[in-house]
Amino acid sequence: MSKSDVLLISSSRFIDHETPTGHPEQPARAVVMTRVADRWRSNGGRVVEPTPVETAALARVHQEAYLAEIASTGGRRVQLDPDTYASPETEVVARLAAGAAVSGVSYALEKNSPALAFVRPPGHHAERDRAMGFCLYNNAAIAAAHALSRGLERVVIIDYDVHHGNGIQSMFYDDPRVLYISTHQYPFYPGTGAASELGRGGGAGFTVNIPLEAGAGDADLDFVFRRVALPIALAFQPQLVVVSAGFDAHVDDPLGGMRATSEGFGTLTRLIYRLALDHCDGRIVIVTEGGYHLSALEACLEEMLVVTAEQIRSLEEIPPVSGPTDVAEAALGPILLAQTPYWPSISTSL
């Protein structure tokens, strides 16, 4: 893959979603995203503006009454939950964020190449009928639902934000067409994401939670990806990979207690991208979520762009991260107990 194959969807309009002074999901995050995008463009990368999402795409995952509630915030300042706010331009900006995710899917499906959406507000906490956790529209879920509407039968969403993506989980909890895999700090906000949360009915086994205690670092995340997440995704045989890319597991992030680095996120993204290259013709869409330390966010965004333009011939070319894996190993037992009945290959995966 070369830089010219990678599509970055970004816009300075994401600055226009305003939050109260001191709020961690601040407009300065969009300034960082725009700065990274501008550098990518100046170095020969392709950057395009997002287009607003159509209401029909939102309605695949959100209830009609909820969409009307968010639409009614246009031109006003509204507190939607204890830490989620709308400003006069927020509904328009949120439609651009969801639209970027949808456009990324269309590009990945048509070009068999990576698409990245640098967006805010984030999305993975938003439920069918309510905003929460800084999120209004569930961008990654909207992307997956759009892919299903295009005829795909198997989409994997991989979420490495420090917080569990309760909204994504609930939207696809009974749907075997979407495999949701999440690594996250636990117990932690929003309180969901235990290893025992597996899915329901026909979706049983298609929710894979990998909860880790505070203090987990790069080696821990690399360990659980190789031991659990990737073998399950491989067995699922996805036709598209969607990454819910939050960087608040970074050691410098003020909202989490994990110890990942930008290089560690690079390794995770490299592993996921190689999965996409090997098993779905390179179809991968990366959508930003959290990440509230501005310089750490910038470094992680840069790392993602570097990874998607790399030539990686095999998983074997990606060396394991060195370092202690005590947190990951302590978490492994309950995860294997929960998931092995559905994914027997992980009982012996390395």
Closest residue by Cα to residue 101 from 250, 303, 287 = 287
Average pLDDT score over residue span 69-94? 98
Average pLDDT score over residue span 157-185? 99
pLDDT at 261: 98
Closest residue by Cα to residue 212 from 199, 225, 231 = 225
Q: What is the pLDDT of residues 85-114, one digit of tens each?
A: 999 999 999 999 999 999 999 999 999 999
H-state helical runs in 60-217: 64-71, 90-111, 139-149, 166-171
Helix (H, G, I), strand (E, B) or coil at 245: strand
pLDDT at 350: 43
Closest residue by Cα to residue 7 from 149, 120, 104, 93 = 104
CATH no. of 3-347: 3.40.800.20
Please give the backbone phi and psi of residue 32, each rounded to the nearest 5 degrees, phi first: -60, -45
Tokens of 59: 């309605």
| Pairing status of strand 84-86 against strand 78-81 | antiparallel
pLDDT at 1: 60
Q: How far apart are CA 262 and CA 301, in angstroms?
A: 9
Closest residue by Cα to residue 115 from 131, 102, 125, 104 = 104
- What is the DSSP secondary structure assignment for residue 255, as one 8-state letter? S
pLDDT at 316: 81
Q: Are 233 and 178 in contact (CB under 8 A)?
A: no
Q: What is the pLDDT of residues 232-285, one digit of tens each?
A: 999 999 999 999 999 999 999 999 999 999 999 999 999 999 999 999 999 999
pLDDT at 216: 98
Closest residue by Cα to residue 276 from 172, 184, 158, 117 = 158
Helix (H, G, I), strand (E, B) or coil at 252: coil
Task: Name the pLDDT band for 317 (thresholds 50, 70, 90).
Answer: confident
63, 119, 291 from 73: Cα distances, Å:
16, 20, 25
Taking residue 176's Cβ as centre, other Cβ atoms within 10 Å add up to 16
In the chain, what percentage of residues exceed pLDDT 70? Answer: 99
Report, in angstroms and rounded to the nearest whole number, the Rg of the chain calculated over CA atoms.
Answer: 18
Task: Name the pLDDT band for 313 (thresholds 50, 70, 90).
Answer: confident
Give the H or E element holding residue 79: strand 78-81
pLDDT at 111: 97
Q: How far apart are CA 104 and CA 88, in angstroms?
A: 26
Is 125 a catalytic site residue? Answer: yes
Q: What is the pLDDT of residues 111-169, one digit of tens each?
A: 999 999 999 999 999 999 999 999 999 999 999 999 999 999 999 999 999 999 999 99
Residues making up the chain, counted from first to last: 350
pLDDT at 331: 98
pLDDT surpasses 70 at 204? yes
Closest residue by Cα to residue 8 from 187, 184, 245, 183 = 245
pLDDT surpasses 80 at 311? no
Residue type, 80: L
Please identify which of the residues 17, 62, 124, 125 carries the catalytic annotation.
125
Helix (H, G, I), strand (E, B) or coil at 43: coil
**Tokens 């031109």 -> residue:** 75
112: left (phi over 0), alpha (psi -120 to 50) or beta: left
pLDDT surpasses 60 at 349? no
